[in-house]
Amino acid sequence: MTGTALLALMAAGSALGAHLLTRARWTWRTPRTAIALWQALGLAWGLASIGTLLSFGLAPYGQGVVVGVARFFAAPSVLSSFQLVAVAAGLTLALLLVGMLMVAIGTVVRARRRHRALLALVAHGDPEVPGTLVLDHPVAAAYCVPGVRSQVVVSAGTLELLGPYELAAVLAHERAHARERHDLVLLPFTSLRRIFPQARIVSRTLDAVELLIEMAADDRARRHRPAKELATALLRFAAAGAAPTPAGTLGVVGADETSPILVRVRRLLAPAPLPRPMRGAMLAGATAVAVLPLILYAIPA
């Protein structure tokens, strides 16, 4: 039962790691690395949870999960009824995780398609903000519609609220979202929330990853604009009560984000990035965490 025990330990360790990471604050010092670690933990938990069930159920074949699955479809009668249930549970969990990810992708694609059609009717270009669509709406809003052809959208209220330098910083933040495809980072976590809507750990995970994504976009914008410009813009958005971003989009400010905005402003004005060797070690650890369950798939139960 070595393979089964190691996979079960990996699944439990991934869940514990996620719990600890939701409470961590050092992740704010290196958001991109922390995002990679979150992705590795999520992938490891899914693979290890599926692998634990399959490894236990396929133990009589004695050849690990990968070969065991192939032999199961060729000769399922070797297994006991309890082992058959474990195999069915593992395959069901795998189909559920993949299926809900596909559903999440489909939902986001439809929401963006509808929003793009709406923008074609109500938004317009403005020579003062080239490459950006403007909505004639008094409430402050700024967001990007990600995709192959991403679009950055600002409201008339934003143009009135921000000065030209602050607006340039906000646009740099939104273009960072589009360039780095942060929407794809969020998809696995939003699909997990669909599967476990009442799980507090999943909600906290999604909140933590969303904040890290905003910080990563802040850091990218800071490469092109002074940090003070974006920090001032964030405070202006918070004071004005910025509108929540539409479904399927990524905005500089989301709904109910007053406290995260203050955190982002503080780190913009007083950055404290982790040393490069430490970030490299964390990326190596994240890679190992993601790959280990696949290695354990080959170990006989």
pLDDT tens-digit profile of 85-100? 999 999 999 999 999 9
Provide the pLDDT for residue 255: 53
CB 170 within 8 A of CB 252: yes
DSSP 259-287: HHHHHHHHHHHS--PPPHHHHHHHHHHHH
Provide the pLDDT for residue 31: 95
Provide the pLDDT for residue 35: 96
Mean pLDDT of the 248-265 span: 75
Is pLDDT of 254 > 70? Answer: no
Provide the pLDDT for residue 76: 74
Model pLDDT for residues 107-116, shown as the tens digit of each residue: 999 999 999 9
Mean pLDDT of the 285-298 span: 92
Provide the pLDDT for residue 1: 59
- Banded model confidence at residue 277, pLDDT cuts 50, 70, 90: very high
Mean pLDDT of the 182-208 span: 91
Amino acid present at 72: F
CB 39 within 8 A of CB 289: no
- Banded model confidence at residue 66, pLDDT cuts 50, 70, 90: confident
Instruction: Provide CB contacts within 8 A for 123, sequence distance 6+.
Output: 133, 134, 135, 153
CB 166 within 8 A of CB 229: yes
pTM of the model: 0.90
